Chains A and B, each alone.
Chain A
Amino acid sequence: MNNFLSLTHIIVEIATVICLAAISVSFILLLFRIVSGPTNADRAVALDSMGMNMMGIAALMAILIPTTKLNDVILLIGILLFIGTLAVAKYLEKGVIIDRNLD
């Protein structure tokens, strides 16, 4: 039983490190899209997916250093990502973010 537990621990750690490497590759590709995106909307979408990858990295780091204190951070990154992407989208569409009168 103890042998089986340690084996599972090793398997989870190896899988976490592999996932971290894969997310890092995704980061580099998204960085390429941010630098050489033809339009601003491409850069906004790339930044949005980069934030999602950041949520994934926070979750994987919470597995590597076994802690539950990072769950709030993951939720926080998601919320700030949503609001930031909305602000960028509204700026690209209308030119103002908080407008005085909508009707």
Chain B
Amino acid sequence: MYKPNDLIFRTTTSLIAFILLGFSIYLLLAGHNSPGGGFIGGLMTSAAIILMYMAYGSDILRKILPVNYRMLIPTGLLIAAGTGIGSFLFQQPFLSHTYNHFHLPVFGDLELATAMLFDFGVYFTVLGVTVTIILSIAEDR
């Protein structure tokens, strides 16, 4: 059978996948007051994962990243619903969010909002849905 030589493709993939994952984390964290957010962060992470699947084949990637992407969908939905239900503990209406200032050792004064947790839920749901769709189309059995 015809065997391709993917040396350049694999070397650039090992560089670019790191840049993609870092950029996706940046987009996820920067979504509060600049373009970005959970949705586009999840799409970028799934793009990095699909790039690694294209370069190395699905057998190797299933050993390297043993993640069940279907389980990410209920996990993200539970996180997003939990931030809504958690507001009942403080006698507030559903999905009411708050923020506070924290003093962390490295970052200094930081304003953390609970909308971040909702964004993480969106992130995991989008990541799970996208990778599940593409992988179940690609595998023909």
Contacts and interface: CB of A to CB of B under 8 A. Distances in A.
Interface of A: 69, 72-73, 75-76, 79-80, 82-83, 86-87, 90, 93-94, 96-102
Given A79-B20, A82-B16, A86-B51, A98 B35 contact: no
A83 B130 CA distance: 15
A100 B4 contact: no
B54 A90 contact: yes
A25 B123 CA distance: 39
Interface residues of B, number: 26
> 3 nearest interchain CB pairs?
A102-B57, A98-B138, A98-B53
Given A79-B47, A97-B138, 18 more contacts: A69-B34, A72-B27, A72-B34, A72-B36, A76-B44, A79-B20, A79-B23, A79-B44, A80-B47, A82-B16, A83-B51, A98-B134, A99-B57, A100-B59, A100-B139, A101-B57, A101-B59, A102-B56
Interface in B9-26: 9, 16, 20, 23
B42 to A, nearest CB: 13
Contact of B58 (A75, A79, A83, A99): A99
B110 interface: no
B54 A102 contact: no
Interface in B43-80: 44, 47, 50-51, 53-54, 56-60
Interface of B: 4, 6, 9, 16, 20, 23, 27, 34-36, 40, 44, 47, 50-51, 53-54, 56-60, 134-135, 138-139
Contacts of B9: 86
Contact of A98 (B6, B16, B135): B135
Contacts of A86: 9, 51, 54
Contacts of B58: 98-100
13 contacts: A69-B35, A72-B27, A72-B35, A75-B23, A79-B23, A79-B47, A96-B138, A98-B53, A98-B57, A98-B134, A98-B138, A100-B58, A101-B59
B28 to A, nearest CB: 12
Contacts of B138: 96-98
